[in-house]
C-alpha cells in the first residue's frame, strides 16, 4: 500500500516537541484533500520522525492526541491512517458549520471594522468567472480563506474553537466539490452578496445568505458525492 507523504518541515526544540509535532501534523492533514479518490491516507511513523527530525516518542504523543480528536486512527500492528468521515457524518458536519458560520456572519456585521470587511473583496473580486477554469486552484484556496475569515472576524472564540474541529473535513469536501456542477461560479456570486450585506451592516441578511450558501454545499454532497 502506498503511504501518504505530508508536506512538513523539521521542527526545532523551542517549545514542547510533542506540541510542535501536533501542530505541524494537524496543519499538514488539514491542508490535504483527504476526500480525493486517490488520496493516500496511510502514514509512516518512521518517515514522519525523519521529516520532523525528532524521536518517535513526541511524535507518538502527537498522533495519540490527533486520534483523540478523530483526525487519525492508530491500528496496532497495521499502521496509522488519516480518518475520512462517512457521507452521513460529512452532511452532519456541514449542517453544523452552516449554523455556526451564519451566526459568525451576523456577528461580523456588529463587531468587524469597515476595513476588515472591505478586505474580503480580495478573496472574491479578483476572480473573473469567465476565466475561472484556468484559476480553479487559486479560487479554491480563496474560497476556503473566505469562510475562515468570516469565522475569524466574528470575534467569537468558541465558534472558532468548534469550527476548528470540523475544518479539516469541511475544507477537504469543499475543495473536492468546488469545480463540480458550476459551483465555483455560483460561489463567487454568493460571496459577493454576503460581503455586500456585511458592508451595510445587515446582520439578518448576512446570516441568511451564509447559511443558504453552506447548505447548497450540503445539498450538492448529498446528491452527487460518493464517499461510503
Local confidence pLDDT in tens for the 228 residues of the chain: 667 777 776 655 545 888 888 998 998 898 888 988 888 899 999 999 888 888 888 899 999 999 998 899 999 888 899 999 999 999 999 999 999 999 999 999 999 999 999 999 999 998 876 677 778 889 999 999 999 999 999 999 999 999 998 999 999 999 999 989 899 999 999 999 999 999 999 999 999 999 999 999 999 999 999 886
Q: In 3D, which of 163, 161, 154, 139 has the Cα closest to residue 214?
A: 163
Which residue matches cell numbers 499538514? 28
- Cell numbers at 129, concatenated: 468567472
- What was the pLDDT predicted at 37? 80
Express each pLDDT in 59-86 by its tens digit.
Answer: 999 999 999 988 999 998 888 999 999 9
Express each pLDDT in 33-69 by its tens digit.
Answer: 898 888 889 999 999 988 888 888 889 999 999 999 8
d(CA 145, CA 153): 12
d(CA 104, CA 150): 6
Amino acid at each position: 500500500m502506498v503511504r501518504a507523504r505530508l508536506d512538513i518541515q523539521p521542527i526545532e526544540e523551542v517549545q514542547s516537541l510533542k506540541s510542535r509535532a501536533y501542530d505541524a501534523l494537524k496543519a499538514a492533514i488539514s491542508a490535504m484533500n483527504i476526500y480525493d479518490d486517490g488520496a493516500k491516507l496511510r502514514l509512516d511513523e518512521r518517515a514522519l520522525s525523519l521529516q520532523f527530525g525528532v524521536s518517535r516518542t513526541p511524535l507518538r504523543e502527537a498522533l495519540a492526541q490527533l486520534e483523540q480528536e478523530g483526525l487519525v486512527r492508530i491500528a496496532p500492528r497495521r499502521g496509522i491512517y488519516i480518518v475520512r468521515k462517512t457521507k452521513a457524518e460529512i452532511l452532519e458536519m456541514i449542517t453544523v458549520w452552516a449554523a455556526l458560520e451564519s451566526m459568525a456572519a451576523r456577528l461580523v456585521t456588529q463587531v468587524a471594522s469597515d476595513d476588515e470587511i472591505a478586505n474580503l473583496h480580495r478573496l472574491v473580486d479578483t476572480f473573473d468567472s469567465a476565466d475561472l477554469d484556468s484559476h480553479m486552484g487559486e479560487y479554491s484556496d480563496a474560497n476556503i480563506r473566505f469562510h475562515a475569515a468570516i469565522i475569524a472576524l466574528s470575534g467569537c472564540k468558541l465558534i472558532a474553537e468548534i469550527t476548528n474541529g470540523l475544518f479539516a473535513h469541511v475544507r477537504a469536501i469543499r475543495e473536492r466539490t468546488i469545480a463540480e456542477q458550476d459551483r465555483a461560479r455560483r460561489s463567487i456570486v454568493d460571496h459577493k452578496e454576503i460581503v455586500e450585506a456585511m458592508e451595510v451592516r445587515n446582520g439578518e441578511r448576512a446570516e441568511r445568505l451564509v447559511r443558504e450558501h453552506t447548505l447548497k454545499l450540503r445539498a450538492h454532497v448529498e446528491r452527487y458525492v460518493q464517499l461510503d
